[in-house]
Chain A
C-alpha cells in the first residue's frame, strides 16, 4: 500500500490455551485511513484489536504501531503508546459509578492538567458530536444500549487519539444513528488526522465509509480490497458475506462434533 503504515501486523499467530484463533495474519493500516475488519462471529476480530492494544501477546509474529513492536514495550512504553490510542469496547464498558459527563471527562482529568472549564467545553463538544449533549447528567444505567455505545464513542475520542479502534460500533443502533455514527467515524478520522479500525458485521454501512476492507476467516485474511473491489468481487466468500447468504464457505456453526451424533441419531439412516 502506498502511504506510510501506522499499524503493521505481520504473521501473527495467537491461541487461547491450545485453541488457535489467528494463524499468521498480515494486515497493514496506512496513516489517515479508515479500515474495516470483517469476519464471522468468533473469528478473532476482538482478539486482533486486543493484540494491537497490547492486552494480549502474539505467540509468534509481531504487531507494530508507529514503528514500535507492541509486545516488546515495557509497562511505561506501553502506557505511553496507549495514551495515543482509543478503543471502543464491544459492550461500551462505561464506568458505571460515574455520570456520562465524568465518563467522557475521565481521561482528560487523568492525563491532562486542563482546567475544569476547558474540560467542560470539550466534554460537551464530544457529547454534542454523538448527539447526546442533553444526557451529561445521567448515569450509564439510565441509558439505552445504543446511547451507551454513543457515549462510549465520545469517551473513546476524548483525547483525540492517533489510532482509534472501534469494536462493533454499529451494533444495536437504529438506522438513523447508524448513519450518523458511520459518518461520525469518517469525519472524526479526517478531522483528527487519525487512523481508524472498524470491526463490524455491517457490510453495507462500512462499504460507504471505509477506505479498505479486510476479511478474516479461519484465522487468516481471506480477502481484502477497497470497497469498490469488494462490491464487485466474485470470490464466493466475499459474495456470501456482502449479500448475507446463508449457504457458502463461511460456516455459521462453532466447530463441534457431528450434529446427528449429538442428537443420538444414527448416521446414515
Chain B
C-alpha cells in the first residue's frame, strides 16, 4: 500500500518535472521568437540593463577586488615554497580569467539580479499585470520578458570582465604593493601566461553562456510562479539554487570542452 503510494508520488514528481522542462523550453523559444521588440525599442532593454547591470556593479567590483587579493595572498604563500613567486601574476590572472571571473560573477549576478527578476515577474503575474497586458493586446513576453533576458545576456560578460579586471588589480595590490613581488615579472609573467584567444575569449564565452542560463531560469521561475506570496518567494529561492547549480555544472562541461588535451 505505502509502496504503491510512494511509487505514485514519485511518478507524479517525474511527470511534473518533465512537464516543467517542456514548458521551460517552449518559454525559452518564445523569448527568442519575440525578441524583435527588445532591439527595435532598445530603450526597453536599456531600462533593464540599468536594473540588472548597473545595480550589480558595486557588488561585482567589491567582490572582484577581494577575490583577487585573496588569490594574491594564497598564491604567494604556495608559490613561495617552490621559489617561483614571479609566477604570481600569471596564477592570479589565469584563475580569474578562466574560472573565477565568469563563475563568481555569474553566481553573484544570479543572487543579485536573477532573484530580483523572478520576484518582479512573479509579482506582476500575481497582481494580474501580465493578464492585463495580454488583455490590452500587448504580448508580455515581448514587452516584459525578452528585454530583461537580453539585458541579462549583455550584462553578464561585461560584469565578468569587470570582476576579472578588479581581481587582477586586487592581486597586484597584495602581491606587488604589499608583499613586494617584482612588478616587472608580475606583469610579464602574466602576459606570457594568459593567452588572448585561449583564456580570455573562452572566459567570455563562458560568461555569455552563464548569462543566458541565469536570466532564462530567473525569468521562467517568475513566469511559472504560483500567483501568491509563497509562490513568488519559493520561486525566488529556486532561481538562486537552480541557477547556481546550473552555472557550476555548465562550467564543468565548458571547461572540459575548452581546455581539454592539456
Let me know if chains A and B touch directly in the complex, using CB atoms closer than 8 Å.
yes
| Segment of A10-18, A34-42, A81-89 in the binding face | A81-89
Query: Which residue of A85, A94, A110, A111 is within 8 Å of B135 (Cβ)?
Result: A85
Q: Which residues of A contact B128 (CB under 8 A)?
A: 89-91, 93
Q: CA–CA, A117 to B133, complex, Å? A: 24
Shortest distance between the CB of B116 and any CB in chain A (Å): 12
Q: Which residues of A contact B3 (CB under 8 A)?
A: none
- Closest A residue to B47 by beta carbon equals A97
B131 engages A93 (CB within 8 Å): yes
Binary per-residue interface labels of chain A (95-129) against chain B in the complex, 1 for a CB within 8 Å, 0 otherwise: 11100000000110011000000000000000000
Q: CA–CA, A106 to B133, complex, Å? A: 10
Q: Is A80 interfacial (CB-CB < 8 Å)?
A: yes
- Closest A residue to B133 by beta carbon equals A95
Shortest distance between the CB of A116 and any CB in chain B (Å): 13
Q: Is B74 interfacial (CB-CB < 8 Å)?
A: no
Which of A206-261 touch B at CB < 8 Å?
none
Shortest distance between the CB of B227 and any CB in chain A (Å): 11
- Closest B residue to A53 by beta carbon equals B135
Shortest distance between the CB of A63 and any CB in chain B (Å): 14
Query: Which residue of B120, B132, B137, B143 is within 8 Å of A93 (Cβ)?
Result: B132
Query: Which residue of A80, A90, A97 is within 8 Å of B137 (Cβ)?
Result: A80
- Closest A residue to B128 by beta carbon equals A93
Which of A56-95 touch B at CB < 8 Å?
79-83, 85, 87, 89-91, 93-95
Q: CA–CA, A96 to B138, complex, Å? A: 17
Q: Is B129 interfacial (CB-CB < 8 Å)?
A: yes
Shortest distance between the CB of B118 and any CB in chain A (Å): 15
- Closest B residue to A106 by beta carbon equals B136
- Say yes or no: A107-B138 contact (C-beta < 8 A), given A93-B127, A96-B129: yes
Q: Which residues of A contact B120 (CB under 8 A)?
A: 97
- Closest A residue to B120 by beta carbon equals A97
Shortest distance between the CB of B81 and any CB in chain A (Å): 55
Q: Which residues of A contact B123 (CB under 8 A)?
A: 96
- Closest B residue to A85 by beta carbon equals B135
Q: CA–CA, A96 to B129, complex, Å? A: 8
Q: Is A138 interfacial (CB-CB < 8 Å)?
A: no
Number of B interface residues in the complex (CB < 8 A)? 16
Q: CA–CA, A81 to B135, complex, Å? A: 10
Q: CA–CA, A82 to B132, complex, Å? A: 11
Query: Which residue of A80, A89, A111 is within 8 Å of B132 (Cβ)?
Result: A89
Binary per-residue interface labels of chain B (113-151) against chain A in the complex, 1 for a CB within 8 Å, 0 otherwise: 000000010011001110111111111000100000000
B136 engages A55 (CB within 8 Å): no
Q: CA–CA, A18 to B124, complex, Å? A: 28
Q: CA–CA, A170 to B244, complex, Å? A: 47
Q: CA–CA, A93 to B127, complex, Å? A: 6
A96 engages B127 (CB within 8 Å): yes
Query: Which residue of A53, A80, A91 is within 8 Å of B127 (Cβ)?
Result: A91
Q: CA–CA, A97 to B128, complex, Å? A: 14
- Closest A residue to B123 by beta carbon equals A96
Shortest distance between the CB of A90 and any CB in chain B (Å): 8
Q: CA–CA, A185 to B51, complex, Å? A: 39
Q: Which residues of A contact B127 (CB under 8 A)?
A: 91, 93, 96
Q: Which residues of B contact A106 (CB under 8 A)?
A: 136
Q: CA–CA, A93 to B227, complex, Å? A: 13
Shortest distance between the CB of A74 and any CB in chain B (Å): 13
Q: CA–CA, A93 to B129, complex, Å? A: 5
B132 engages A87 (CB within 8 Å): yes
Q: Which residues of B contact A82 (CB under 8 A)?
A: 134-137
Q: Which residues of A contact B129 (CB under 8 A)?
A: 93-96
Which of B59-82 touch A at CB < 8 Å?
none
- A sample of 26 cross-chain residue pairs with beta-carbon separation below 8 angstroms, ordered by A number, consists of A53-B135, A55-B131, A55-B134, A55-B135, A79-B139, A81-B137, A82-B134, A82-B135, A83-B136, A85-B135, A89-B128, A91-B127, A91-B128, A93-B127, A94-B129, A95-B129, A95-B132, A95-B133, A96-B124, A96-B129, A97-B120, A107-B136, A110-B136, A110-B138, A111-B137, A111-B138
Known A-B contacts: A89-B132, A95-B132. Give 8 more (CB < 8 A).
A79-B137, A82-B134, A93-B131, A96-B123, A96-B127, A97-B120, A107-B138, A110-B143
The 7 A-B residue pairs with the shortest CB-CB distance in the complex, in nearest-first order: A93-B132, A82-B137, A93-B128, A79-B137, A83-B137, A87-B135, A89-B128
